[in-house]
Structure 1
Amino acid sequence: MQHVGLVMECDYREGRTQDEAFAEAFEMARLADETGIDGVWLAERHFAAPRTPTDPGGAGIPSVSSVPLLMAGIIAARTERVRVGTGVSVLPLAHPIRLAEEAATVDNISQGRLDFGIGRSSFPRSYHGYDVPYDESRERFAEALDIILKAWNNYRFDHHGHYYNMDDVVVTPRPYQQPHPPIRIAANSIDTFGIVGQLGFPLVTGVRGQGLKQVANNLELYRAAVKESGHDVDDVYVRMPIYVAESMEQVRADTEESTMRAFRRTADTYIRTVEAEGENASAERRQRAEQLLNTTYDDLLVDRVAYGSPEEVAERLTEIRGQLGLTGVIMEPNLGGTVPVERVQNSVRLYAEEVAPALRG
């Protein structure tokens, strides 16, 4: 069964208020529930306040989604059918016991509709704000995941690790789904694909920063690691900018400025991260920054987004699904955050009602 999802970054645009941002987020979740979207995925965005081009990280769009599990619980209580996921919970930035408790709570509130997406984030800015060294992120992620699984798979457990020590712990409530909510790990850097494959978990990756060709190469690493590690899993979701309108002319009018703004911002974030890391900066980040700086809107239509009429988007996503061997597609509905909300809602309706049936067929 093909998963047709929708990511919610809960941005709020210039001239809008936080109240309006929350209201729009909850309305988008209601629309997803009403139109048959399989799942909404809540991003985790920290310190995402309005910024100027001279601020660290460059100009950005603010977000109210710093506590995705809290948002997920509210959405679960207000909806009937749609699954609610974290896209993703950044494990190294929170205590794993607290995350296990909160996720299990949402799983119960939703009566088993939680998907627990997890990751460690590609950029160090959030870590700086929490005073957590970014170079510890991989080890902290692994230990946090180990603790969460112990909490869910055992009634009582002990743990003695590098970052956490605890004895005789009983976590309540227990998850509604047994043994626990589905776990899906995000991978965007090349080395992470192999690690997720070794662990044997379902994977989610994004197209925006790497392009479809690189995603295909990276998924080969994931599947090779799964096979070498003796796991039986081939479950991959791709998150990508998707926009559906009545014609390609309307799509371009709605999205070109917003989309280019988003990719320029992503390139700027890579550049500033590389500058901050100096000689320790990864070659992968440098390469991605260079690629995005030289990318045009028409280039993006080929390799990084799925934009068009319902027929065009359905055909493109069906082709991508076949090429990459996907089990799910997650829509980024308003890349750049400046498309008017009414147009975004129209796009989501067309995606749910005219594109999704083709993907599930």
Structure 2
Amino acid sequence: MRFAMSIPQFHADGEFDPAAFRTHLTRVEELGFHSAWAQEQPLGTRPQLGPLEAMAFAAACTQRLRLGCSVLVSTLHSPVHLAKSIASLDQLSRGRIEAGFGTGGPRRPFAAFGVAPERYASRFYEGMEVMTRLWRDSRVDFSGEFWQLDDAAMEPKPFQKPFPPLWFGGSGRTALRRAVASPGLFTGFFGAGQVRTETFAEQVGTVRQALAESGRPLEAFGIAKRVYIAVDDDSRRARDRIDAELAALYMRKSPGIEAAAIAGTPAECVRSLREVVTAGAELILFTPLFEASEQTERLAAEVLPRLG
């Protein structure tokens, strides 16, 4: 098992404290966490820093900690710009970047990004091909439905060769099977934080079946899960606080999202996290939505030793 922490991104205008951010990420590294991950939500009422920018600052604050985003909705990005940003981050961090990608589904506000909603899945895979070819090849000729490149070059390449580990963040059975079947592209599946453990277990089953059918070894394809979590000696207080934070993050109250979060005493959190492990998670990304430093310390001292 490996454990990761979220990168603190929730800062209102003028409230970001560089020293506190550095101290927190340094402590996450000292505590032995495998990685720290951002998430992407460019539009919303809750103040949230951009993931690539937060990752860049985190890279400057740490030495060994791997850094990622789960997930980038790449259908809303230019693949050329996104490829350049990720390659630059991987160089600046000396090969510590991992990246998760998702289509975003059909209900994203595509018009706000100048993107047509039609054929978003085809746009997603074409964009992934553009990025991986720019990272891998010295020159790229590409004639696609959405993008065209003529003898294009991108330097420097990512520090990790041929490119950083790429995770797929999706939910539907068809999407999961297609991601697994895409040769040489994704190296793992990242379950979403708003997905309940029972649903995650079904998704893992789909991934493993697709791996077996494609002949890919199970051990070569990672399984991860983001977990929204709140540790408190008072179970009711933990649940009330995380439910309020989730409503602010998703701009609505949702019993399903609330049910996916883990909240309670250390012992209660351990029991719920063991279910996530049993469902197939090999990497758990803890995402506290308040008091990040205090929650990190409690997880390291009171929860992780009982999950080993």
TM-score over 0.5 for the alignment? yes
- Mapped pair 1:345 → 2:300: no
Q: CA deviation at 1:142?
A: 0.2
Correspondence list, 1:224-303, <5 A: 224-232=209-217, 233-245=220-232, 247=233, 249=234, 251-260=235-244, 262-263=246-247, 266=250, 268=252, 292=256, 300=259
RMSD over equivalenced CA pairs, Å:
2.6
Q: CA deviation at 1:259?
A: 1.1
Q: What is the SS of the residue equivalent to 1:124?
A: coil
CA contact (8 A) 2:110 2:117 kept: yes
- Structure 1's 156 and 265: CA in aligned 2 closer, same or farther, altered over 3 A? closer
Correspondence list, 1:123-272, <5 A: 124-199=107-182, 201=186, 202-208=188-194, 210-232=195-217, 233-245=220-232, 247=233, 249=234, 251-260=235-244, 262-263=246-247, 266=250, 268=252
| Distance in 2 (alpha carbons) for counterparts of 1:26 and 1:131 | 36
| Distance in 1 (alpha carbons) for counterparts of 2:8 and 2:104 | 14
Instruction: Please list every run of 5 or more consecutive structure 2 residues that lacks an aligned counterpart in the other structure.
Output: none
| Distance in 2 (alpha carbons) for counterparts of 1:190 and 1:263 | 27
Q: Which amino acid aligns with 1:230?
A: G
Q: Which amino acid aligns with 1:243?
A: A
Q: Deviations over 1:114-134 (max 9, x none)?
A: 011111224634422112123
Structure 1 partner of 2:2: 3
Q: CA deviation at 1:22?
A: 6.0
Instruction: Please list every run of 5 or more consecutive structure 1 residues that lacks an aligned counterpart in the other structure.
Output: 51-60, 270-288
CA contact (8 A) 2:224 2:282 kept: yes
Q: Deviations over 1:121-175 (max 9, x none)?
A: 2463442211212333211110111111111222222111111111222211111
Q: CA deviation at 1:321?
A: 0.5
- Mapped pair 1:310 → 2:266: yes
- Structure 1's 236 and 113: CA in aligned 2 closer, same or farther, altered over 3 A? same
- Structure 1's 218 and 69: CA in aligned 2 closer, same or farther, altered over 3 A? same
Query: Which segment drifts farther, 125-134 or 76-85?
Result: 125-134
Q: Deviations over 1:43-70 (max 9, x none)?
A: 111122x3xxxxxxxxxx23222xx223
| Distance in 1 (alpha carbons) for counterparts of 2:293 and 2:57 | 20
**Greater helix content:** 1
Q: CA deviation at 1:183?
A: 0.7
Q: What is the SS of the residue equivalent to 2:14?
A: helix
Structure 1 partner of 2:287: 332
CA contact (8 A) 1:9 1:45 kept: no
User: How many residues in Structure 1 have an aligned counterpart in Structure 2?
Assistant: 302
CA contact (8 A) 1:35 1:353 kept: no
- Mapped pair 1:356 → 2:304: yes
- Structure 1's 22 and 130: CA in aligned 2 closer, same or farther, altered over 3 A? farther
- Structure 1's 34 and 332: CA in aligned 2 closer, same or farther, altered over 3 A? same
CA contact (8 A) 2:135 2:154 kept: yes
Determine what percentage of the aligned residue pairs are the same residue.
23
Correspondence list, 1:102-117, <5 A: 102-117=85-100
CA contact (8 A) 1:10 1:25 kept: no
| Distance in 1 (alpha carbons) for counterparts of 2:203 and 2:251 | 20
CA contact (8 A) 1:9 1:43 kept: no
Q: TM-score, normalised by structure 2?
A: 0.87
Q: Deviations over 1:64-111 (max 9, x none)?
A: 22xx22321221012122111012222122221222221111111111
Match of 2:75 among 67, 92, 110: 92
| Distance in 2 (alpha carbons) for counterparts of 1:320 and 1:235 | 14
| Distance in 2 (alpha carbons) for counterparts of 1:328 and 1:252 | 27
Q: TM-score, normalised by structure 1?
A: 0.75
Structure 2 partner of 1:20: 15
